[in-house]
Amino acid sequence: MSVNRSAVDVCGKRARQSGRNVVQLALMIALAAIPMLIPTTAVAHDAFGDLGPFYASMLHPLADPLQAALLVGTAAFLAGRALSVVRRAMPIFLLVAGIASIAVFSGKFNATPSILAGFAALLAGLAATLPENWTPRVVVYALVAATGALVGLAPGTPDGGLTLQPLMGSIFGISVLVTVLWFTFEVAARRLTVLLPKVVGTWVAAVGILVIAFSASASVIL
Amino acid sequence: MIRAIALLALCLMALSPAAVRSHALEPGFLELAPYGPSQWRVTWRKPQVNGAPMAIEAELPAQCSPRRGPAPVFDGRAFLSAWVTTCEGGLAGGDIRIDGLERTRTDVLLRYSTAPEATPQAARLTAATTTFTVPQDPGALGIAAGYFALGVDHILNGVDHLLFVLMLLLLVRSWRPLLAAVTSFTVAHSFSLGAASVGWIVVPAPPVEAIVALSIVFLAAELLRADRGQLGLTQRYPWTVAFAFGLLHGLGFARALLEVGLPEGDVPLALLAFNIGVEAGQILFIAIVLILGAAVARLYPVLSRKLAAPGSLGLRTTAYGVGTLAAFWAVERVAGFIT
């Protein structure tokens, strides 16, 4: 009886291992095939052809101070939270930003009104100055979801409609920038001073206040 | 000491509030791209203020006609107008002015080329400086800046070169051999770039491009070999492999430089600036990859180990993905010059 049971166990293990191998193989083939499905790979020489739209979208935060402020504010805010919280907050931020990017690139939404993004920057900046135990997990997740949505919407609807390169560039740029910024602030907070993310937060809050003031002031020629 | 310096730097930044104000708004953008003989395509992007275009207007040099563009169209974020202007005698020496900019707190970025073969130049107009005079001669600094930007642009647009560097990063994990490999790659491609640019080496571009693709296939295969616990050539002699392939990649960089052309009388300067630009782009890429890797390792250590450990699904997938793509390029490029 016990021999039969161990034989069944062995067979089960082998079947599961075999299943995992098949899944791994399928995944590898699928991932390897994806680049082949991108038609621009046919352009030799520059490998992917003109990457201008990809880089333009990727670097958009560097040309859009408000989007940059939101990214920096979110990264500074997360740098002051516990790792266990950031582990969940980061995917939430990236997921919402990705969905918002798809929505805005497909023309479903317009760019974020400046005043709203200004408020979000102010909120993220101020939140970055708060101690860790003042920000429950739910608040952290809600805040990063909100800033993620606004960061994704920031580039506005492109002229050419939904095209792969600018969309991928935007999502890639947001992901890379927020991760790099978070890590830089986090390391600086550990190695230099814990004040650093808070100081960055106050700068972002200041940018938010200025944007709100400019947006609200109809009489001032900007 | 480091903490004190960091705090001092933060305090100094806090003392310059203008830095915040000047970047609080989206800037305007004016581009003049050569279009035909004595013609330029003008793109003028005005920021929007409360749903209306900002009260500023671009005025081109007196020798251009028309000097102003048509009514702008809202593109969802800013007001855009585009037109073609004819400038008899070229742009050089002419004044480009932004009317009304002095009454604002925003900036206008200007990007222009004086000729189709000239490197694009950039300038920033502000409320304090509303007029820009297009220089007759870009000068040594202008040439260096232009070719530096070209070098950065070339490496960041050359996905094949970046994939080669990425494979090198994945293969060589210790920092000393990695530093040796990256340095020898740099030295090698600087050497062949210089030699090819001044005409000491003349090699047709298509075979070079094909071998560049093959070099990536080679490193992808080496990555798979490493997965099986075997030490490949790259891991045993990282700097030698990087040097050999660096020579080939340098020939590829030279092609980009030769397409643009080198300014007469300033060849060494342009060559040096281009090479430094390539290095800067390469270092930027390496830094971003390393920081991203460290960030993922900090956030998700288990996942990072599973993805980056020798023999892991992540490394095998990367090796197969990059190898397949590079093999495709190799076949395509070989087919291109055979047919």
pLDDT of A36 over the 80 cut: no
> Dmax over Cα atoms in chain B, in whole Å?
70
Q: And the tokens for B165?
A: 């560097």
Which of A122, A191, A195, A222 has the highest number of chain B CBs within 10 A, making it the mutation to test binding with B? A222
Which chain B residue lies closest to A157 (C-alpha atoms)?
B76
CA of A157, closest CA in chain B: separation in Å?
6
CA of A8, closest CA in chain B: separation in Å?
28
Report residue B135's pLDDT band, with 50, 70 and 90 as the boundaries: confident
Bridge partner list, B65: B86
Q: Please work out, in degrees rounded to the nearest 5, the angle formed at the alpha carbon of residue B244 by the alpha carbons of B287 and B185.
A: 20
C-beta separation of B188 from B161 below 8 A: no
Inter-chain CB proximity A55 and B21 less than 8 Å? no
pLDDT of residue A202: 94
Inter-chain CB proximity B26 and A32 less than 8 Å? no
**CA separation for the pair B140, B111 (Å, rounded):** 18
- Closest C-alpha to B251, from B207, B296, B310, B307: B207
C-beta separation of B199 from B283 below 8 A: no
ipTM score for this prediction: 0.70
Inter-chain CB proximity A193 and B3 less than 8 Å? yes
- Mean pLDDT value across residues A179-208: 92
Per-residue pLDDT tens for B171-192?
Answer: 888 888 888 888 888 889 888 8
CA of B46, closest CA in chain A: separation in Å?
11
- Closest C-alpha to B106, from B53, B54, B42: B54
Give me the phi and psi of A44, to 5 degrees please.
Answer: -75, 180
Domains of chain A, by residue range, sit at: 1-40, 53-221
Beta strands (DSSP E) in B185-314 are none
**CA separation for the pair A84, A96 (Å, rounded):** 19
**CA separation for the pair A189, A194 (Å, rounded):** 4
Q: Which long-range contacts (CB under 8 A, 24 or more apart) does B18-21 make?
A: B20/A203, B20/A206, B20/A207, B20/A210, B21/A210, B21/B105
Which chain A residue lies closest to B53 (C-alpha atoms)?
A222
Radius of gyration of chain B measured on its C-alpha atoms: 25
Mapped onto helix, strand or coil, the DSSP state of residue B110 is strand
> What does pLDDT average to over chain B?
80
Residues in chain A within 8 Å Cβ distance of B249:
none
Per-residue pLDDT tens for A79-88?
Answer: 999 999 999 9
Inter-chain CB proximity A221 and B76 less than 8 Å? no
Inter-chain CB proximity A64 and B26 less than 8 Å? yes
Report field, pTM of the whole predicted structure over 0.80: no
Residues in chain B within 8 Å Cβ distance of A38:
none
Mapped onto helix, strand or coil, the DSSP state of residue B59 is strand
Q: And the tokens for A34?
A: 């994806």
User: What angle separates helix A65-79 from helix A195-216, to the nearest 10 degrees?
Assistant: 150
Contact residues for B308 (Cβ-Cβ < 8 A; gap 6+): B170, B293, B297, B314, B315
pLDDT of residue B6: 44
Which chain A residue lies closest to B319 (C-alpha atoms)?
A32
Inter-chain CB proximity A36 and B14 less than 8 Å? no
Q: Does B227 touch chain A (CB under 8 A)?
A: no
